[in-house]
């Protein structure tokens, strides 16, 4: 029986985004359903874990240590272990690596953002950390006496080089390597950086191109729609991943939908009580959660937050925008521009962006929005240590204006009884059944029709800019990304037709949601119930089954 090993750079002890969320659940579910052994191996980001004392206490030494040549220097490493819910995670620790700083204050200092991908004092450290990790994994497996009949489930480019190092490790045999992409990112790899990992000559200018010949089976990703988009959407096919198209054609792409990341956190409504009574119960519970949210927002007053919220005599909707800021993905600038098209006073808006490469300075357009819409907009430009759960539960809608989303977090909203407004892209197309408002255009119907019937019960609102010729779309996206790191993202992008179209449709979707909330609370309550039902369509059991089917097709390298 083969041993399945999830190799991941991000983990639940050092989380940032979707990868950590998947790695928190999928390996454990795989371990529960497999007859063979299954575990996770990941870096130990010691500074980040220190901010989680309970977690730190649960990580114990294995007594396994070793050394390896990396970049003409011999580095020592140790293997640590954590057992949770019957699943084992092994951590690789080395003094010169995985030192991303973390400030345990609330909020953390921008100089120590608790981000495993960012060390502000050493901008190039991410690639060194990733390559060292890939070099150390096979040595750690030998130390653990896990040496043959292995399936390595590699997550993203940061772990991809393990496909070579494991297959070239003399102490290992009978190995298959399966790559899962949680986005279309890749990394340029210089000859100098490559020599730190291997003296073997391997062609390719990026990590994934160099590793193309060492992957087994299809290239996997986290939703059916994102798998389609990697080959057909201009944003990926022409801009982010044109160099990977040959790899995708050769290996094929398999979209395996994630399950739901959070347990259902909304009281069950018994069907025998009748639709009208059910609706009252749903709205009563949502109203209670709104009050809890307002109390949390009143009590949580960090000095680095921007803007203010006035809930005095306000009964309208509250829109929540969350996730890591990435100027090439998340569309916070679309959201800011769209809000300015919504009439003053009709809604409240809360932003919780985790700053990206530009830090808080890259979010200056949100600061200006908060100043312009005083009393309506609050921005928490950091990872919130408290109050975020109350925000999710009490918000009227979660909003994702993403340029792309491999899977997305609509199910996260459904689990707490919060409908979703989103751009129709990636896994969000699969997760959201659109309400028939002005934002339900022919383009949205075409995309949604791949997965839903028009008669399906709506769970939120989807919007999408109109289809134009592929060359025009490509030109627009290039202009958007050429202006990704400008001082004022909104001002720089507002003259681009594709961006303008996204803003217009996003504003339409916000006003559709606002109108439903203001005029038909019964339908709003039903939308909450529909979202809860949608959770049943995304199960980790199904995810595990699909991976198991792929495992059966893999041929190991002796």
Same structural domain, 517 and 381: yes
Residues 120, 99 contacting (CB under 8 angstroms) = no
Residues 226, 255 contacting (CB under 8 angstroms) = yes
Residue 44 covered by a domain: yes
Residue 409 covered by a domain: yes
In a 3-state reduction of DSSP, which class is residue 67? strand
Residue 314 covered by a domain: yes
- What per-residue confidence (pLDDT) applies to 93? 97
Contacts 24+ apart (CB under 8 A), 55-63: 55/13, 55/82, 58/82, 58/83, 58/84, 59/13, 59/91, 62/90, 62/144
Nearest-Å Rg of the Cα atoms of the chain is 24
Same structural domain, 48 and 131: yes
Same structural domain, 529 and 545: no
List the beta strands (DSSP E) in 237-382: 253-255, 306-307, 318-324, 348-354, 377-379
Question: Residue 279, Cα to own-chain centre: how many angstroms?
Answer: 32
- What per-residue confidence (pLDDT) applies to 558? 53
Residue 558 covered by a domain: no
- What per-residue confidence (pLDDT) applies to 293? 98
Residue 205 covered by a domain: yes
Same structural domain, 370 and 231: no
Same structural domain, 252 and 304: no
Instruction: Chunk the chain into consecutive blocks of 10 residues (it has 558) and report each block's average pLDDT, rounded to whole numbers.
Output: 95 89 94 88 95 91 95 95 94 96 85 88 91 98 97 98 96 97 94 91 95 96 98 95 96 96 82 63 95 96 94 97 92 98 97 88 94 97 89 98 96 97 98 97 97 95 93 94 82 94 98 98 95 94 96 75
Same structural domain, 63 and 147: yes
Same structural domain, 220 and 368: no
Beginning with the edge strand found earlier in the chain, give each strand of the sheet holding 420-423 in spatial order. 306-307, 377-379, 348-354, 318-324, 397-400, 420-423, 460-463
- What per-residue confidence (pLDDT) applies to 177? 97
In a 3-state reduction of DSSP, which class is residue 317? coil
Residue 396 covered by a domain: yes
Same structural domain, 215 and 314: no
CATH number of the domain enclosing 508: 3.40.50.2000
Token pair belonging to 328: 């090439």
Containing structural domain, residue 41: 3-259+541-551
Same structural domain, 338 and 482: yes
Interatomic CA distance for residues 352 and 1, integer angstroms: 45
Residue 266 covered by a domain: no
- For the chain, how many structural domains are there in total? 2
Interatomic CA distance for residues 207 and 205, integer angstroms: 7
Cα separation of the two ends of the chain: 15
- What per-residue confidence (pLDDT) applies to 36? 80
Token pair belonging to 384: 């919130």
In a 3-state reduction of DSSP, which class is residue 383? coil
Name 241's Cβ contacts closer than 8 Å, sequence gap at least 6: 184, 186, 230, 248
- What per-residue confidence (pLDDT) applies to 392? 96
Residues 391, 296 contacting (CB under 8 angstroms) = yes
Residue written as token pair 């700053």: 355
Residue 375 covered by a domain: yes
Same structural domain, 189 and 314: no
Interatomic CA distance for residues 481 and 240, integer angstroms: 10
Same structural domain, 319 and 454: yes
List the beta strands (DSSP E) in 219-314: 219-221, 253-255, 306-307
Same structural domain, 308 and 237: no
């Amino acid at each position: 029986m083969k041993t399945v090993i999830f190799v991941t750079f991000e983990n639940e002890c050092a989380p940032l985004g979707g990868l950590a969320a998947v790695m928190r659940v999928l390996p454990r579910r795989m371990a529960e359903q497999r007859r063979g052994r299954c575990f996770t191996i990941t870096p130990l980001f010691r500074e980040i874990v220190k901010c989680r004392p309970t977690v730190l206490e649960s990580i114990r030494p294995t007594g396994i240590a070793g050394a390896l040549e990396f970049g003409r220097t011999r580095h020592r490493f140790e293997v640590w272990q954590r057992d949770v819910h019957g699943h084992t995670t092994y951590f690789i620790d080395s003094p010169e690596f995985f030192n991303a700083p973390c400030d345990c204050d609330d909020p953390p200092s921008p100089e120590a953002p608790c981000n495993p991908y960012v060390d502000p004092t050493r901008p190039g450290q991410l690639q060194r950390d990733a390559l060292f990790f890939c070099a150390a994994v096979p040595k750690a497996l030998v130390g653990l006496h896990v040496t043959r009949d292995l399936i390595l489930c590699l997550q993203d480019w940061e772990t991809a080089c393990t496909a070579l190092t494991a297959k070239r490790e003399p102490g290992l045999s009978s190995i298959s390597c399966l790559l899962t992409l949680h986005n279309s990112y890749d990394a340029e790899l210089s000859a100098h950086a490559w020599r730190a990992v291997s003296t073997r000559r391997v062609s390719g200018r990026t990590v994934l191109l160099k590793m193309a010949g060492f992957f087994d089976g299809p290239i996997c990703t986290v939703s059916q729609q994102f798998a389609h988009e990697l080959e057909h959407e201009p944003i990926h096919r022409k801009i982010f991943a044109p160099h990977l198209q040959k790899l995708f054609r050769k290996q094929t792409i398999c979209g395996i939908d994630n399950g739901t990341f959070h347990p259902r956190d909304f009281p069950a409504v018994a069907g025998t009580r009748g639709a009208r009574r059910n609706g009252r119960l749903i709205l009563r519970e949502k109203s209670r959660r709104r009050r809890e949210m307002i109390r949390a927002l009143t009590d949580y007053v960090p000095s680095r937050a921007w803007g203010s919220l006035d809930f005095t005599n306000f009964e309208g909707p509250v829109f929540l925008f969350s996730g890591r800021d990435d100027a090439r993905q998340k569309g916070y600038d679309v959201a800011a521009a769209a809000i300015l098209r919504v009439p003053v006073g009709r809604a409240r808006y809360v932003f919780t962006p985790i700053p990206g490469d530009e830090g808080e300075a890259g979010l200056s357009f949100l600061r200006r929005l908060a100043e312009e819409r005083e009393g309506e907009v609050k921005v928490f430009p950091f990872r919130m240590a408290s109050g975020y759960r109350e925000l999710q539960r009490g918000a009227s809608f979660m909003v994702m204006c993403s340029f792309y989303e491999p899977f997305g977090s609509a199910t996260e909203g459904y689990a707490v009884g919060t409908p979703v407004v989103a751009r129709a892209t990636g896994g969000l197309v699969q997760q959201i059944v659109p309400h028939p408002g002005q934002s339900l255009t022919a383009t949205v119907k075409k995309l949604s029709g791949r997965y839903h019937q028009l008669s399906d019960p709506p769970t939120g609102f989807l919007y999408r800019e109109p289809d134009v010729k592929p060359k025009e779309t490509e030109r627009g996206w290039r202009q958007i990304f050429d202006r990704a790191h400008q001082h004022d993202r909104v001002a720089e992008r507002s003259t681009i037709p594709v961006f303008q179209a996204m803003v217009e449709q996003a504003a339409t979707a916000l006003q559709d949601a606002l109108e439903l909330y203001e005029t038909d609370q019964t339908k709003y309550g039903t939308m909450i119930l529909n979202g809860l039902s949608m959770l049943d369509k995304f199960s980790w059991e199904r995810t595990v089954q699909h991976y198991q089917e792929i495992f059966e097709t893999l041929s190991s390298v002796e």
